[in-house]
Amino acid sequence: MLNYEFVLKKFNDYVEQFDVKNTPIAMKRSHSIHTADLAGKLAKRMELEEEKIEFCKILGLLHDIGRFSQYEQKKSFSDLKTKFDHAKYGVDYLFKENHIKEYGIPQKYYTLIEKAIENHNKLKIDKNLTEEEQFYAQFIRDVDKIDIFRQEATSYEWKYTEPATKKVFHTFFKHQLIEDKEIASSSDAILLQLAFVYDINFIESIELLKDTDNLDLFLSVVEVDKNLEEEFESIKKELGMFIEERMKELC
């Protein structure tokens, strides 16, 4: 049987090994718990059975378990700069080091957890997944992104004070995800965050994104240079149009 509360206790025991008074560590614990909550809400919207709802919450909680060691070792959450793939580290910690057994999760869920965590931070999902593996990989990517908008809005300052680079700008308007290596400014980083919307997989996820107001919260905290207000408005308009078209497409 799956027991989210038991997994949550074990997760908190693990996190307590780190400097939990350190703001970035506390932020990632909060993100993990928020993502678990969103996973439960999304699973219920999808009318999944009770055991699968519990599984989705557990998946949301554990998806970023590699982040804590990443920050402890590298003092950064940038996989690119640190050359530290937090998803791979999380999978290795849980499965190669066999810590997954500490969480009381039935073995039949192991591969689903492994594949979902492994793929949650990639630009594209592995094409060789089974249908069920792909579903949960898409599922966790959706709830992770929905909460990232809240996390980024409440944890950092965002400034659109210079034009985005041409490549990043064009990639954004082609409705594609933006690679970390292309980021050259804060404006580029903002577009990278906003482009997450293009990777939302389910109609229920878009509905949840809208209900949380997390995207609007992120947009509201961006400090935009007066000379770039028109450009930023075009970005917001493009996002809004895409969301409406995506909802129609998925209905």
Domain ranges in the chain? Answer: 1-147, 157-251
CATH number listed for the domain at residues 1-147: 1.10.3210.10
Whether 66 and 79 have beta carbons less than 8 Å apart is answered as: no
Does the structure show a pLDDT above 90 at 79? yes
**251: confidence class by pLDDT, cuts 50, 70, 90:** confident
- The span from the CA of 165 to the CA of 25, in Å, is 31
Q: Model-level pTM?
A: 0.96
What is residue 10's predicted lDDT score, i.e. its pLDDT? 98
- The span from the CA of 237 to the CA of 183, in Å, is 22
Does the structure show a pLDDT above 90 at 53? yes
**1: confidence class by pLDDT, cuts 50, 70, 90:** confident
Place of tokens 């932020």: 27
Give the mean pLDDT of 74-91.
96
